[in-house]
Amino acid sequence: MFGWMRRAVAYYATTTGRAGSTYKKFCNPNARDWGAYLGRWGKFYSVGENIHINPGCNVTDPTLVRLGTNVGLSDCTLIGHDGVVALIEFATGKHLDSVGYIDIKDNCFIGHGAIVMPRVTIGPNAIVAAGAVVTKDVAPGTVVGGNPAKFICTTEALIKRVEERCAAYPWIDLINQRQGAYDPELEPILAARRRQYFFGNEDHG
């Protein structure tokens, strides 16, 4: 019943840049679609190709953010300014400004709950772990985590570790068949195999 309404809202928002909050709430776009919407209408300084942005991502100053190609932003926060200057001005009368760019290079991923502070360059080929607080540049090809974020390993080492873990999964054949990161036809089968592998046949009702 509401399918045509969602399609109409999505079309209007994605073609005009208006009603973004309605589009997000009513249509619940995935990270790819929301990334495409923000890439066109989000007022970033510049955006590359294949941008995935979760609807829960918060970007305070998009005009100060540059995103490369193949970038994923989970439910993270990118902060481009320091609001304390308003308090300083009120308390001391000093007129100050505290802003900074955020430059996320190609092939980078920012995890859930991570916070990226101003004046930071990330990557290329870098990963920010969930919950990390990034206050300094993240070197190319590295994984960082913690508060403040520190080096954990290289991206290459992480990929190798994940590959080794995947080799033991009995559903890896389905992963190899999957078209993209999410395949609606295979996902129910994958979910069932994962549950059985981790929890056995126990009743989880």
Q: Would you give the distance in Å from CA 89 to the centre of its chain?
A: 34
Rounded Cα distance between 61 and 79, Å, is 7
Rounded Cα distance between 88 and 120, Å, is 24
CB 7, CB 13: distance < 8 Å? no
Measuring CA to CA, how many Å separate 191 from each of 37, 118, 141, 188, 200?
Answer: 29, 39, 31, 5, 13
Rounded Cα distance between 110 and 43, Å, is 19
Catalytic residue flag (residue 52): no
**What ranges in 17-134 are assigned the alpha helix state H?**
20-27, 31-41, 84-92
CB 3, CB 23: distance < 8 Å? no
Q: Would you give the distance in Å from CA 190 to the centre of its chain?
A: 23
Rounded Cα distance between 105 and 140, Å, is 9
Catalytic residue among 52, 81, 95, 204: 81
Q: Which positions are catalytic?
A: 81
